[in-house]
Chain A
Amino acid sequence: MLTIDQLSLQLPVYASWWKREWTTCLDKLSLHFSAGEVHAVVGASGAGKSLLAYAMMGLLPTPARLNGQLYYQGSPLDRPRQRQLRGRELALIPQSLNALDPLVRTQRQVAWAAQRSGQPSKSARHAAQLALDHYQLDARAQQAYAHELSGGMARRVLTAMAHVSQAQLVIADEPSVGLDPHQRQRVLAALRELADQGKTVILITHDLRHALPIADRVTIMRHGKQVETAAASAFQGNGDSLTAVYSQALWQALPDNSFSIRGTRKAQQDIQKEANVA
């Protein structure tokens, strides 16, 4: 459905106010996301996960150097096409809860999202109502302002706003941050449900453990590079079916695997060596 071919991104950094340097944030990424799958993109903070999301949506800041190609359903996805498809075909569940307008009631914001996806205002209001009910936001939450919502409710509002657009590709940027296990389950289950409806879900997270139960495939990122893309089923046992040392180390570092990075220093060296080769 969405194919990324040799995507590189550079952003300016000002060493001093007159001196501009370019730092590489994404380095020759090649990925394919297919319909009906939850594809988790996992990496540490600063790995470039959110920038990848913005690059796919066409929401990067203006002074950015983007190389490589994006294809959506076979044809190139350039800026004008991204602008045209945003909200209709492509949806983003943003990482920050500040993305909700503090001055507008929940219900109205969801209705706006529906309108922006091209639905006439009357059916948009109806669609918003359905989406809000679907995510179990009661009448009080619907009439509330953002600061009156709990973290979990705000997340569900953001999810509802992506859901209401009926987009075929949903990018969820760290949707489970700051939620208790129960709430997290609900948010992640909602994403799985979208994929089961035939949509493509890209789940961006730093926590491999939360991604695995719902993901079909997992891409591990490190320092803007793609370390490995593997089926979620490859993350089992000792992680021997994973090809990259870094992904193995990530897997073994999970509490369920008793934090068993074998020979930590050795692993560190191997990861470094691997990065140098790539």
Chain B
Amino acid sequence: MRLTALIAKRLVRLALVLLCVALVSFGLMMASPIDPIDAYLGPQMAQVSPEQRALIAQRWGFDESAAIQFGHWLRQLVSGDLGWSHVYNQPVSEVIGQRFQRSIILLGSAWLLSALLGFSLGVAAGAKEGSKLDNAISTYAFITASTPAFWLAILAVLLFSVTLGWTPTCCAGPTGILSQEVTLLSRLHHLVLPVTTLALLGIATITLHTRARMLELMRSAVATHAFAQGASRLDVAWRHGLRHASLPAMTLAFASLGELFGGSILIEQVFAYPGLGQATVAAGLRSDVPLLLGIALFTALFVSVGNLIADSLYAVIDPRIQSGGL
């Protein structure tokens, strides 16, 4: 009973979050200076008469008020239809589905890499404050934490793709080949650079937070007591440190899902990787309202679920935290 109530509460909250996201995104699109019809017509704009424009506007429902348009969209959403993307000339759900398949590989591997590597580096650095290893890791983390991801991405393309020629400069596969025919090896080859640059961003923050928690623990009464029992520094870091440091690392890893999405928009743009991030930019620039709303909802759902998982895992690791509160 308590569990069902809890799940119901969480679901209602999630629905409210999604509604707010949809409202705000819709409002922003309405305020956008880009006219969807101009964006749709492109250079052919000059050859279209005002009557024809009015016809397009009527067909797409742009002649009605914003509130009614939103109402239409919402009604369709409830019946399971996300609408039609005029940029890709496909149903929005299909565009998101295809794009997400490519993005999730990029996002997922970058996320895993940054969480695991960030955590390990943080623990290693925090286990002995002021050691050479600690200094090296901290310096690295501070530098990468203050480096913009897109700039790093541009530098990476310049060095590894253009100068050295180790990695391809663009896309998810070689140009001129159908996406079904791209080999796994080639796919991975195209992923290396985007994943690395995207992960570098996450590693630094997770490292710094994990290290801070480790330092705190190594100075605590728990560590002193363990030393009094004859434990080595490695023993204390391994048995006590890992548990304690995993709390901030995990919260951060799940909370940074949103940041990762934001980072992927820039990274996909720089590497011309045909993922969800690139679709977001296209939808925004060409005023594709249904697609943008769809992506916004999908991203919000993804991030919320991530936070939900973090909340639940928290209670598993730290017995002092009782799950159940809103």
Contact = CB atoms under 8 A, between A and B. Distances in A.
Contacts of B228: 57, 59, 86-87, 90-92, 94
B319 A147 contact: yes
B222 A145 contact: no
Interface of B: 220-222, 224-231, 235, 239-240, 243-244, 317-320
11 contacts: A86-B228, A87-B230, A91-B228, A92-B228, A94-B228, A96-B221, A103-B240, A116-B229, A148-B319, A161-B229, A165-B229
Contacts of B229: 86-87, 91, 112-113, 116-117, 161, 165
A235 B61 CA distance: 98
B317 A98 contact: no
Nearest to B230: A87
A100 B222 contact: yes
Contact of A98 (B220, B230, B240, B318): B220
A115 B221 CA distance: 19
Given A103-B243, A112-B239, A145-B319, A94 B224 contact: yes
A98 B221 CA distance: 6
Q: Which 10 A-B pairs have the closest CB atoms?
A: A87-B230, A99-B225, A92-B228, A86-B230, A98-B221, A87-B229, A116-B229, A145-B319, A99-B221, A103-B243
A64 interface: no
A148 B320 CA distance: 9
Contact of B222 (A85, A98, A118, A161): A98
Given A96-B221, A98-B221, A101-B240, A59 B227 contact: yes
Nearest to B129: A62
Interface centre among B224, B228, B235, B239 (most CB of A within 10 A): B228
A149 B239 CA distance: 21
B197 to A, nearest CB: 35
Contact of A103 (B226, B231, B319): B319
Contacts of B320: 102, 145, 147
Given A87-B228, A87-B230, A94 B318 contact: no
Interface of A: 57, 59, 83, 85-88, 90-92, 94, 96, 98-104, 112-113, 116-118, 145, 147-148, 161, 165
Given A94-B225, A103-B244, 16 more contacts: A87-B228, A87-B231, A88-B230, A92-B225, A96-B221, A99-B221, A100-B222, A101-B243, A102-B222, A103-B318, A104-B240, A112-B231, A116-B226, A117-B229, A161-B229, A165-B230
Nearest to B130: A62
B315 to A, nearest CB: 12
Nearest to A101: B222
Nearest to B317: A103
Contacts of B230: 83, 85-88, 116-118, 165
A162 to B, nearest CB: 8
Given A102-B320, A145-B319, A147-B319, A116 B224 contact: no
Contacts of A94: 221, 224-225, 228
A7 B240 CA distance: 33
Contacts of B317: 103
A147 B120 CA distance: 28
Nearest to B224: A59
B221 A116 contact: no
Contacts of B239: 104, 112
Contacts of B224: 59, 94, 99
Contacts of A112: 226, 229, 231, 239
A104 B227 contact: no
Contact of A99 (B222, B231, B319): B222
B199 to A, nearest CB: 28
